[in-house]
Structure 1
Amino acid sequence: MPKYKPTKANIYTGRTSDQELYLHEKILCTDISELKSNTNKTIALLGYECDEGVKLNQGRTGAVNGPDAIRKQLAKLPNHLNKKTSFYDVGNVRHGDGELKDTQALLSKKVSDLLKAGAFPIILGGGHDMAYGTYNGIKIAKDDATIGIINFDAHFDLRSDKTGSNSGTPFFQIAKDCQAKNLPFHYLCMGIRQDANDASLFKTAKELDVIYIQRDTFRIEFHNEINAWINAFIKNVDLVYVTIDLDGFSSAYAPGVSAPSPMGFTPDVVLESLKTITLSGKLAAVDIAEMNPTYDVDHQTARLAASLIHGIIHAH
């Protein structure tokens, strides 16, 4: 069975000051049940310690240790948050010996709890199967809202779950749930590669009316056009859920992932896109998937993930 456990505060270390100049001095470790609804902004980190979905998808394991690897690098970064903004680490959902769906369900429950408490959740992974849990957590908490998914990824992750769920099935599962409830499926993929998806996945994407920007167009020199696509997509939804798969980046920037490739995208175009999404005021939750410290080089991938989070929280 999956478990929920708190984060040990001693994971957050770095330079010290008496003015909360660094994030490790700002972040407080607590249990989700201790969060209270308030009018001030609250940011909450939640770990997804699970790479069972990666294993089932025939990827290289190690992402179970991703959350703590990101935390260690985030701790060292400077703090520019407003003093009234609360920043919590609310622990981890950890996969046990049971089925993946149980871990996803527990993640959904915790994300929902955070949203109901008025917090902005950032989930650290962990395999991309976390997306099914994050999305359902938003859906539980914001049942009347139309949710748009923006996925920064080389892969559609639209594989059939006929033989069970894994890290390659989450958005197919979401689409199937939407169809069963007669709800629209709003899905935008940024950075899709033809050499990372077979013909059947492109066919599925077409059948589900998925909007996608391929890697050769997802470049910083086209940021005005990309921002126009993002704004057009956001216009049709109430809330936006952003999911960032680190294996979408070129391995020059992110070697520590489950499925690396030198042909991925660059951080600058993702940061530019995130600014546009955040400015919409509709961003409900973010997760970062496939952080695999087993294969990281000089903590480069963890540093990238930490910098992405740093940008998001200060813009949000």
Structure 2
Amino acid sequence: KGNYLLVLGKLNVTDLVEKANLLDSNNKEHRKELFKLVEQLDIEVSHIIHKICNAGKIPIIVGGGHNNAYGNIKGLALAKGKPVNAVNFDAHTDFRILEGRHSGNGFSYAYEDGFLKKYFVFGLHENFVSKSVFNTLKELTSRVKYVTYEEVEVKREKNFESELENALNFIKNEPFGVELDLDAIPNIPSSAMTLSGFSVDKARHYVYYFGKHQNASYLHICEGAPSLDDSKNNHLTGKLIASLITDFMKAKNC
């Protein structure tokens, strides 16, 4: 129902982008400045998510990089007054080393800073994870778990539906965020586009499945890049995002 919805618009990041465009990520000192710009964005994202959740509403966040997972998690945790959980449909862990804030370490920073209690990565692509990150995950098995895409679809050792249930059982006892990275879905224009991964239909089911639970406290859809789509159908990325959003709202009986 439309009267349940409020469209807030977007964060204005023009000044941050202009500053970033003057910096070279290959330059060590410039990279430090880029990390600081991401930290400024973290403050803005966490503030607005905190305000929405504090008002008893459920934020649906679209666009930008997966760096924004940190702000989402922090904002929700501050609103709830305690650490929260997250499930992430992604080809990558985004649990990389704490070297300065970027899109590859939103969850590890949220974990380190005490905002993230439990984290489940759904559909991780084994080829895209370094040995050091795998070793880190193995040390944190009581609070960080994952299932790989290959275990489900290539080796067929595990079942998609059963793994959804396992993930939900792992995170459901606390408020949790539902994260979805569009670069995990084949042929979707994104910063790390893939040809192999779970289908659009499975991604939609993932969103609906977790959205149904009462502790599902936000939806985040990220990394879509329609500007990288050179086809005549470059509106389809937005159409997919719209489907994912309505799936989540239907799960919430809106």
What range is the shorter-chain TM-score in?
0.7 to 0.9
What displacement does 1:315 show?
1.5
Task: Give the AA of the match of 1:282.
Answer: N
* Unaligned stretches of 5+ residues in structure 1: 1-80
CA displacement 1:212-264 (0-9 Å, x = unmatched): 110124459933312321332134x321101111001112xx1x101001012
Secondary structure at the aligned position of 2:201 is classed as helix
Partner of 1:197: 129
Q: Give the whole-Å Cα distance in 1 for the aligned partners of 2:128 and 2:146.
A: 14
Q: Give the counterpart of 2:203 among 235, 250, 270.
A: 270
Instruction: Give the alignment of 1:2-17 within 5 angstroms.
Output: none
What displacement does 1:207 show?
2.1
More strand by share: 1
Gap change, CA 1:191 and 1:302, over 3 Å in 2: same
Q: Give the counterpart of 2:221 among 288, 304, 312.
A: 288
Asked if 2 retains the 8 angstrom alpha-carbon contact of 1:159 and 1:169, the reply is: yes
What displacement does 1:268 show?
2.0
Partner of 1:44: none
Asked if 2 retains the 8 angstrom alpha-carbon contact of 1:218 and 1:265, the reply is: no
Task: Give the AA of the match of 1:208.
Answer: L
Q: Give the whole-Å Cα distance in 2 for the aligned partners of 1:244 and 1:227.
A: 14
Normalising by structure 2, we get a TM-score of 0.81
Q: Give the whole-Å Cα distance in 1 for the aligned partners of 2:236 and 2:185.
A: 12
Partner of 2:163: 226
Q: Give the whole-Å Cα distance in 2 for the aligned partners of 1:228 and 1:170.
A: 24
What displacement does 1:151 show?
0.3
Q: Give the counterpart of 2:94 among 157, 173, 189.
A: 157
Q: Give the whole-Å Cα distance in 1 for the aligned partners of 2:250 and 2:117.
A: 29
Instruction: Give the alignment of 1:16-95 within 5 angstroms.
Output: 81=1, 85-95=3-13
Q: In the alignment, does 2:93 pair up with 1:175?
A: no
What displacement does 1:109 show?
0.4
Task: Give the AA of the match of 1:90.
Answer: L
More helix by share: 2
Give the paired residue count: 224
Partner of 1:124: 62
Q: Give the whole-Å Cα distance in 2 for the aligned partners of 1:293 and 1:224.
A: 30
RCO higher in structure (CA 8 A, sep ≥6): 1
Gap change, CA 1:218 and 1:134, over 3 Å in 2: farther
Q: In the alignment, does 2:45 pair up with 1:107?
A: yes
Q: Give the whole-Å Cα distance in 1 for the aligned partners of 2:109 and 2:193.
A: 24
Gap change, CA 1:194 and 1:223, over 3 Å in 2: closer
Asked if 2 retains the 8 angstrom alpha-carbon contact of 1:93 and 1:103, the reply is: no
Secondary structure at the aligned position of 2:196 is classed as coil
Secondary structure at the aligned position of 2:180 is classed as strand
Secondary structure at the aligned position of 1:108 is classed as helix
Asked if 2 retains the 8 angstrom alpha-carbon contact of 1:240 and 1:285, the reply is: yes
RMSD over equivalenced CA pairs, Å: 2.0
Normalising by structure 1, we get a TM-score of 0.66
Q: Give the whole-Å Cα distance in 2 for the aligned partners of 1:283 and 1:208.
A: 23
